[in-house]
Amino acid sequence: MMAMGGFDVGMSLDRALELRLWREATTIYMTSGHGGCGPHGLAVAALARGFEARVRAVGGGAEGLFADSVRDADKKAVIRLVEESFLAELAQAGASVDDAPLTVEELEAALRAGWAGLVLVSAYRLSGGKAPHWVTLAAIDERYVYVHEPDMDPAHSLTATDCMGIPIPREDFARMMRYGRARQQAALFLRPRRSV
């Protein structure tokens, strides 16, 4: 929502849209509770709303990006099936899906080229959580990667502005971009579809 809203300031960014995007993009199962959203599902949701989408996803292998987060074979099969479905939709739409490792320099170049960037990070440094977590790139300079953190913790009395433009040293962010035992990476780049 943050990435799309950055291109369309009139977009209604409400809880209904948040839940609609989650339902469209979810992998069904994650470590516990409801499923998380992977880059492929988020890309499909962005395409449906008139955006171009590019996905970078490293380390999922044949099992899928989040399959190692569950032990049950049936849950693994569901995650794999959902991800295969998303990949088929992305291929049909001609969206770019790449499995090359990602660098902070590439994130910076994408922002300069007019893409909004979402990066799945290890949330440990931000909140102490152990699950992967999406942040939106706000800016990158020679020292810092600035992110918008959409998951405000009411227990810490944070306001919306406390969670915007959080500076993270580039070297630290490069480490945060890898998560899980397989040191996976995932990012989604989007921008409004250009008329031909």
Under DSSP, the state recorded for 9 is: T
Q: Which of 22-31, 63-72, 91-100, 185-194 has the lowest mean pLDDT?
A: 63-72
Beta-carbon neighbour count of residue 77 at 10 Å?
14
Mean pLDDT, rounded, of the chain: 83
pLDDT value, residue 83: 87
3-state SS class at 166: strand
Under DSSP, the state recorded for 99 is: -
Q: Rounded to two decimals, what is the model's pTM? A: 0.85
Residue 174 has pLDDT above 90, yes or no: yes
- Mean pLDDT of the 89-110 span: 94
- Mean pLDDT of the 73-98 span: 89
pLDDT value, residue 72: 77
Give the Cα-Cα-Cα angle 13, 66, 150 (nearest 5 degrees).
Answer: 25
pLDDT digits (tens, 9 = 90+) for 113-160: 999 999 999 877 766 667 788 899 999 999 999 998 766 555 554 555
- Mean pLDDT of the 15-22 span: 89
pLDDT digits (tens, 9 = 90+) for 30-85: 556 556 788 999 999 999 999 999 999 987 655 566 666 667 788 778 888 888 89
Residue linked to tokens 């998560």: 179
State the virtual CA torsion across 85, 91, 96, 101 in degrees, nearest 10: 50
Residue 102 has pLDDT above 70, yes or no: yes
> Domain of 45: which CATH number?
3.90.70.10
**Total count of domains within the chain:** 1
CA 167 vs CA 142, 150, 161: distances in Å: 12, 15, 13
Backbone angles phi, psi at 174, to 5 degrees: -60, -35
Residue 180 has pLDDT above 90, yes or no: no
Structural domain that includes position 37: 2-192
